[in-house]
Amino acid sequence: MAGQRISIASPQELVPIDRGQMREIVRAVLCEEGISEAEISLAFVDNPAIHQLNKRYLGHDEPTDVLSFPMSDPGSKRLTGELVIGAELAKIEAESRGHDVQAELALYVIHGLLHLCGYDDKSPSDAQKIRERERYYLRLLSLPDITPKD
């Protein structure tokens, strides 16, 4: 899609990032969500960095999987935002749950994008909706369903 710009930063020493796969995930989710113009930045960080951001912006004193920072106004023609993805946490989770770290990173990217697209997970019914969308995108992208079983 010509109207989309995607930039990716990564702590390569922790987890190798399949940049092509991450771009494809972003494009697929945005396209399916009906977003033709977007500028999304992905930053893959270690646990101390995402812990600090989670505490600063959400008041949660722990590392997390992904933080979504919308930068465009709701209803804007162009979606702009940043995802900060916990690459170190993805590696730990993937190892403990017995699947590939790239699949875990894909899930985090999908989850963060859904937040940028307006999905929420604060109530049980909203959490169920976002999980259903995550499963949909994992299937669409031929990735395993590694969504947490709530």
What is the distance of C-alpha 34 from the center of its chain?
Answer: 17
Task: Look up residue 146 and give its two tokens.
Answer: 């590694």
Tell me what pLDDT residue 5 has. Answer: 63
pLDDT in tens, the chain (150 residues): 556 665 555 566 678 899 999 999 999 999 999 999 999 999 999 999 999 999 999 999 999 999 999 999 877 889 999 999 999 999 999 999 999 999 999 999 999 999 999 999 999 999 999 999 999 999 999 999 999 875
**Token pair of 97, please?**
């749950």
Q: What is the pLDDT of residue 68?
A: 97
For the chain, state the CA radius of gyration.
Answer: 14
Q: What is the DSSP string of the chain?
A: -TTEEEEEE--TTT----HHHHHHHHHHHHHHTT--SEEEEEEEE-HHHHHHHHHHHH---S--SEEEEE-S-TT-SSEEEEEEEEHHHHHHHHHHHTS-HHHHHHHHHHHHHHHHTT---SSHHHHHHHHHHHHHHHHHTT--------
pTM here is 0.90
pLDDT of residue 75: 77
Query: Cα 143 from chain centroid?
Result: 15
Looking at residue 135, its pLDDT comes to 96
pLDDT given at position 8: 54
- Phi and psi at residue 137, to the nearest 5°: -70, -35
